A and B are shown apart, each in its own frame.
Chain A
Amino acid sequence: MDTILRINVAANGGPKAKAEPVGAYAGMGGRALTSHMIAREVPPLCHALGPENKIVIAPGLLSGTAAGQSGRLSIGCKSPLTGGIKEANAGGQAAQVLARLGYAAVVLEGEAADDQLYLVYINKDGVKIESAAAYKGLGNYELIDRIKERFGDKVACISIGPAGEYRMAAASIACTDMEMHPTRHAGRGGVGAVMGSKGIKVIVIDDAGAAMRQPKDPEKFKAANKAWVEGLKKHPVTGGGLPAYGTNVLTNIINEAGGFPTNNFKTGQFKGASKISGESFAATMTERGGQATHGCHRGCVIQCSGIYNDKNGKFLTKQPEYETVWAHGANCGIDDMDTIAMLDRLDDDYGLDTIEMGATVAVAMDAGLLKFGDAAGAIDLIKEVGKGSPLGRIIGNGAALTAKAFGLERAPVVKGQAMPAYDPRAIMGIGVTYATSPMGADHTAGYAIATNILKVGGFVDPLKPEGQIELSRNLQIATAAIDATGMCLFIAFAVLDQPETFQALLDLLNSFHGLSLTGDDVTALGKSILTAERDFNKAAGFTKEMDRLPSYFKREALDPHKVTFTVSDEELDQVFNW
C-alpha cells in the first residue's frame, strides 16, 4: 500500500488516472488518511459539490492482510449534508481487494464535465476508464448485475445509485459483499453525492493475480492473528450475540431501556419492538431459508450479517442492521419485518443512507404528509426519492431539509445530520457524542473501546456524573484510531473486556508494519485525526454553538423515564479540551 491513485475527472478528453507515491501520507490508513488528506488538500470553504472537493477512498492499515475483521473501507470528503469534514465507512470486499493491489487510497478530484458518467476499472496491470453512459440511472442492484456479466463475480465494486447521480445529501456509496450484492454502504453525510459530482458511477476492482499483503515479521503476525481471532471468538458479544442475531439484537434492549426513539423521537419505547427484534428476524430468516449468521467480507470472524429472503424464499436484502430496523421501523411506527426489509433493499438500490432516510420519513410523518405506521406510504415515499421527483428531491436531502420544507421544528439532527437509534435523553452520554462529533450526530463516532485500558486522559470514574464528558472524549479518540486500522468497530467489545485482545491488535499492527506502537501511540493517532477534523470544521465556519442538540431535547421529556437532556453547554465545550 505505497501508492495513491489520483483520478482527475476534469482532464481533457475524460478522467485521467495517475499513480504517485504515498509521500506525506505514509503510515496512514483508513480515517487517518482520509481526514488528513481532506484537511490538507480541500479548501474548507469550498462547495461540497464543486471542483475543489475530493473523494478519498482508503483501506485501513491492516486491510488486505490475513488479519481477521480488517475489511473496513473509509471514504472521506467535505460533506454536502453537514458542510464539515466527513468520514463514512463500509464493510464488503472493496477494502481488501484495493489494498492487495497496493493502493493506500483512490482519490477522485476535479469536476466532471457535463453529465458524463464513467466506469473506473483497476487491476494489477493498471487503470482503465471508460464511459458509463449505458449505466446512467441504474440502481445499484441492476448495475452490479451488468458488471458481473462483463467482469465476472470475483471483482469488488464501489458504486452509486440514482441518489448519488441526483447529488442528494443523503446519498451513499455502495460496496459489494461476498455474494457481490451492493449491500454494504458508506452511508453517512452524502458521500454518494460527491462521487456523483465527480461523474464516477462505479469503480470495479479486480485483484486477480495480486497476492495477499505480507507482514514484516510473519511469525509474530501469525501468532498475533491467532490470539486476535481467539479473542473475538471467545467473547460473548463477538462470538455469541452478534453472530446469532446480528446488530439488531439491540432492539429489545434499547427499547427496554426506554431509549428506542419512536415516532420521530416522541417516545422511548415502541409497542411493536419484539416483532422487529433481532431474535424475530433471525427466526424468520431461518424459516425462509436465509441465513442469520453470515460475513460481509472474506476474513470476517464475527459474522454479524445475514441473508433476508422474501416470503417466497427469494433473496431480498442482507439482514437489516439495527439502525435500519430502528429508522424505518420504530421511528416510523412500522412493525412489519418485510416492509423494513423492502425499505432496506430500496435504500441500497437507490444508494441512500438508511439512518437518514428513516429519520426523514419520520419527519414527513410528523409533518402530516403520511401517518405513523403507514408501511405502504413509507415505501412509496422512498420510491419518490428513487424517481427523483420534486418530493423525492426534498426527502433525499435528509431530515433537516425536509423539516424545513414542511415547517417542522422537530428535526432530530446535529450539524444537519440525523441522529441514529439511541435517544440522547435516556442515554445522555451518547448525546454528548452526537453533539460534539466533527461528523454530526453519529453513533459510531465514540464507540466502545477500553478507555480505562488505554487510560486516555487518566482513569475515568464511571460513577461520577461528569464521567460522560471524559468518556465521550476518550471514546471519540479511540474510535478515530480504530477507524484508521480498517478494523470493524465491533472488535471494540472484545478489546473492551479482554486486555490480551487489545494487545493482540497492537501486535498485529506492530508485526505487520515493523512498528512498536503502544497504547499511548494509539491515543496520539486518535487525537491527531480528531484535531485535523475539528480544525477543518472551524475553518469551514463551525462554531461551538453547533456542538449542540436541538433545543427540544432539553424541553420535551421522554417517556417512560420522563427525562430531558441536561448536559450543559459549558460541559459540552469541555469535550475537546486536551
Chain B
Amino acid sequence: MVDSFSNAGGDKLSASGGPSWARLTGLVQEGFALYGLEGQSLRDFMREALGMSDAYIEGAVSTVFLDYKPVDDLDGAVIRPGCLVSLSAAMPGLVGAVMRRNSPYASFREAISHGGHTEQEEAQKDKRCIVRVKLFNAVMREHGPLLLSQGIMLEPDRIAAAIGTPLPDGYSAEHGAPGLVLLRSLAEHGVPGAAGAFGAPRP
C-alpha cells in the first residue's frame, strides 16, 4: 500500500457515481499506463494487456489510434516503449466514419493514417515496456471497469486530483512502474458504488 493513498472512507461514491464520478472518467479518457511487450502487435496488446476478446475487438472497437494515427491493420501496427493506444467505438459524422478501421472513406485521412509495418523501427521483441492507453465512449464504459479492477497505473498527483487522498473506500493503491501508482478497484469488474460503468448508462 502506498502510504499517502491509504483508505479513510472519505469522498464516498454515491449510486449515481458521486462527486468523483466525472473525474474518474476523466482519468481514463486522459490516459493511464499498462505494461505491454515491445514488438507485440496492437491486436495482441489488446488481447493480452487489455483482456479484450477477438469478438469484442472486431465488433466493438471500431476506431483505433496508435500515437494519434488512425490504424487500419491491427496486426501490422506494433507496440513500442511509451507509445499511446487510444480506443473507441464507431463514431458518428462523416469524420467519425472516416476514422473507423478500414473505412470506405479512409482516403479522407490518408495524410495521417498509420502506415503499419513500413514505419516501424526494429523492435526488441518481448521486452516489457510501458504503454499509455486511452479509452473513450462505449469502450470506456464497457471495458474500463474490468481494467480498473485489474489495476491501471497513473501519476499519484492525478489520482489525488481526481478522487482525493486518502482514497475513497473500495480502492487500493500500490507502487507501479517508476513514478506511477497502480490503482485498483476492489469491486468486482466495476467502480465502487457506481450505477453504470464509466459514463451514462446506455438507454
Q: A244-B141, A274-B29, A284-B22 are in contact. Are A448 and B70 (CB under 8 A)?
A: no
Quick one: closest A residue to B111, CB to CB? A563
Interface string of B123-151 (1 = CB under 8 A from A): 00000000000101110110000000000
CA distance A560 to B141 in the complex (A): 28
Knowing A237-B90, A274-B30, A561-B112 are in contact, say whether A250-B141 is a contact too (CB < 8 A): no
Q: Which residue of chain B has the shortest Cβ distance to A245 in the bound complex?
A: B137
Q: Which residues of B contact A322 (CB under 8 A)?
A: 93
Most central of A422, A451, A466 by chain B CB within 10 Å = A422
Size category of the binding interface on chain B: 35 or more
In the bound complex, residues from chain B placing their C-beta under 8 Å from that of A243 are 202-203
Knowing A286-B200, A429-B109 are in contact, say whether A462-B104 is a contact too (CB < 8 A). yes
CB distance from A444 to the nearest CB of B (A): 8
Taking A252-B136, A303-B203, A322-B93 as contacts, is the C-beta distance between A283 and B112 under 8 angstroms? Answer: no
Closest to B22 in A: A283
Contact partners of B109 in chain A: CB under 8 A = 257, 259, 426-429
Q: Does A176 contact B (CB under 8 A)?
A: no
Whether A237 pairs with B140 at a CB distance below 8 angstroms is no
B180 proximal to A (CB < 8 A)? no
Instruction: Kindly state whether residue B17 has any CB partner on chain A within 8 Å.
Output: yes
Q: How far is the CA of A256 from the CA of B21 in the complex (A)?
A: 23
Interface flag for B185 (CB, 8 Å) = no
Stretch of A46-54, A69-77, A340-348, A467-475 contacting B (4+ beta carbons < 8 Å): A467-475
Contact pick for A468, options B70, B96, B107, CB 8 Å:
B107
B142 to A: closest C-beta gap in Å: 10
A272 → B minimal CB distance (Å): 10
B94-A448 in contact (CB<8A) = yes
Contact indicator A275/B26 (Cβ below 8 Å): yes
Residues of B within 8 A of A252 (CB): 29, 86, 88, 134, 136-137
B residues near A258, Cβ cutoff 8 Å? 68, 112
User: Across the interface, which residues of B come within 8 angstroms of A256, CB to CB?
Assistant: 65, 68, 86, 88, 134, 136
Question: What residues of chain B lie closer than 8 Å to A458, measured between beta carbons?
Answer: none
Given contacts A275-B26, A446-B94, contact A236 B137 (CB under 8 A): no
- If the complex has contacts A236-B90, A471-B105, are A254 and B95 also in contact, measured as CB distance less than 8 A? yes
| Bound form: Cα–Cα A475–B134 in Å | 31
B92:A493 contact, CB within 8 angstroms? yes
Is residue A98 within 8 Å, beta carbon to beta carbon, of the partner chain?
no
Q: Report the minimum CB–CB distance from B46 to chain A (whole Å).
A: 16
Number of chain A interface residues as a range: 35 or more
Which residue of chain B has its CB nearest to the CB of A453?
Answer: B104
Q: Are B112 and A426 in contact (CB under 8 A)?
A: yes
- Report the separation of the CA atoms of residues A428 and B141 in the bound assembly, to the nearest whole angstrom: 31
Docked pose: A275 CA to B23 CA in angstroms: 9
Chain B 28-55, CB within 8 Å of chain A: the 1/0 string?
A: 0110000000000000000000000000
| In the complex, chain A residues 251-280 whose Cβ is within 8 Å of any chain B Cβ | 252-254, 256-259, 269, 274-275, 277-280
Shortest CB distance A503–B (Å): 18
Do A283 and B25 touch (CB < 8 A)? yes
* Interface pair B16/A286, CB less than 8 Å apart: yes
B202/A253 in contact, CB under 8 A:
no
Q: Does any Cβ of B come within 8 Å of A496's Cβ?
A: yes
Shortest C-beta distance, B55 to chain A (Å), equals 14
Q: A240-B138, A282-B199, A287-B21 are in contact. Are A428 and B93 (CB under 8 A)?
A: no
Residues of A with C-beta under 8 A to B86: 252, 256
Given contacts A253-B91, A279-B137, A462-B103, 16 further A-B contacts (CB under 8 A): A236-B89, A238-B92, A247-B92, A252-B29, A252-B86, A253-B88, A256-B86, A257-B70, A257-B99, A277-B29, A283-B17, A427-B112, A429-B105, A448-B94, A465-B107, A560-B68
List 25 contacting pairs A-B, 8 Å CB cutoff, sorted by A: A237-B92, A240-B138, A243-B202, A244-B137, A244-B203, A250-B93, A250-B95, A257-B99, A258-B112, A277-B29, A279-B137, A279-B140, A283-B25, A287-B22, A292-B200, A422-B95, A427-B112, A448-B105, A451-B104, A463-B106, A463-B107, A466-B107, A468-B107, A475-B94, A566-B111
Instruction: Identify the 10 closest CB pairs spanning chains A and B, nearest first.
Output: A429-B108, A467-B107, A283-B22, A282-B200, A274-B29, A292-B200, A448-B97, A252-B136, A448-B94, A563-B111
Residues of B within 8 A of A (CB): 16-17, 21-22, 25-26, 29-30, 60, 62-63, 65, 68-70, 86, 88-99, 103-112, 134, 136-138, 140-141, 198-203
